[in-house]
Amino acid sequence: MLCQKLYVEMKNYLSLVKFSHTIFALPFALVGFFIAVNMPDYTFDWKVLGLVLLCMVFARNAAMAFNRWQDRDIDGKNPRTAVREIPAGILPERSVLWFVIANCIGLILTTYFINPICFYLSPVAILITLGYSYTKRFTALCHLVLGLGLSLAPIGAYMAVTGEFGLVPILLGMAVLFWVAGFDIIYALQDFEFDKSLQLHSTPVWLGKENALKLSTFFHLLTAILIGSAAYQLGTQFESIGYIHYIGAIVFIGLLYYQHTLVKSNDLSKVNMAFFTTNGVASVIFGALLILDLYI
């Protein structure tokens, strides 16, 4: 009976933080890690990899749970989000807040065992990832703040190994920033009327649906340029690397284009496919082929 209760509770919290959406940033974190361990004077370390993965889980859990806690009243008024765990009464508000605090502490403690710079910068990462939850209340650029939070994945993973910043991880981090901002604008189209009625800030409310889609396209054009630049820099940085990572970059860029063929301002029926399926596949293929290229 106790095991069943714990299973249900764990399932509810995994649903709360949309754990499956970890697939967006995780491949980029792994890319940052594997680029670093292939640098001169650095070697693969299972302990560091485990700590990096723990940081990813703690940071994302804290960010998502805090967003659900902060937006609980708004979510309760929106028919699309009223079924979420807090407004639906599945998880208590206080328990979710304690869950956020526990994950923030877990993140800070984990970075302590990585290296000093990651430890010192962990509060900054928490501030950025949790701060996003407030931005929709005062700026239509909230999508960029969300992208900034996820952009830390490749940069932080690289830093966990080397203790310093690197050009390729920074380029990939910037690519993630505009990639996430672009597809979050597409996702926000679903709540256009609701956000407008509550005077909430989003790019679709600010610019209108059609112009919001144009800005999303522009952000994804920047993403394509940055992904291409990172692939080129990687090719010049590692003499042993081949051309497989270029295939990953091309597939990623191709899927960026494809998702914009799925969504129109007057037809949002394929938003979920554009948001989750297409972006998830793009991230996994890009990350897998780049890491593969580093080793063959």
pLDDT in the model for residue 10? 85
pLDDT per position as a tens digit, 104-125: 999 999 999 999 999 999 999 9
Query: 295, exposed or middle or buried, with CB in 10 Å at 0-12, 13-18, 19+?
Result: exposed
pLDDT in the model for residue 2? 64
Q: Give the residue with greater pLDDT, 35 vs 7.
A: 35
**Mean pLDDT over the full length of the chain:** 92
Express as a percent the part of the chain with pLDDT over 90: 75
Whether 91 shows a pLDDT value over 80: the answer reads yes
3-state helix, strand, coil in the chain (%, to 5): 80, 0, 20
pLDDT in the model for residue 37? 95
Whether 1 shows a pLDDT value over 70: the answer reads no
Q: What is the CA radius of gyration of the chain?
A: 19
Domains in the chain (CATH in brackets) are 22-295 (1.10.357.140)
pLDDT (mean) for 153-177:
97
Residue 229: CA count within 13 A, CB half-sphere: 15
pLDDT (mean) for 217-232:
97
**Which one, of 168, 178, 232, 225, lies nearest residue 33 by Cα?**
168
pLDDT (mean) for 262-272:
83
Q: Give the residue with greater pLDDT, 262 vs 9.
A: 262
pLDDT (mean) for 81-98:
93
pLDDT per position as a tens digit, 123-134: 999 999 999 999
Whether 270 shows a pLDDT value over 80: the answer reads yes
Are 92 and 133 in contact by the 8 Å Cβ rule? The answer is no
**Structure token pair of residue 226:** 């940055």
pLDDT in the model for residue 207? 93
pLDDT band at 3 (very low <50, low <70, confident <90, very high): confident
Q: Which residue has the tokens 């001169």?
A: 40
Most confident segment among 131-140, 153-162, 263-272: 153-162
Express as a percent the part of the chain with pLDDT over 70: 99
User: Who contacts 7 (Cβ-Cβ below 8 Å, separation ≥6)?
Assistant: none
- pTM for the model: 0.94
**Which one, of 173, 146, 182, lies nearest residue 274 by Cα?**
182
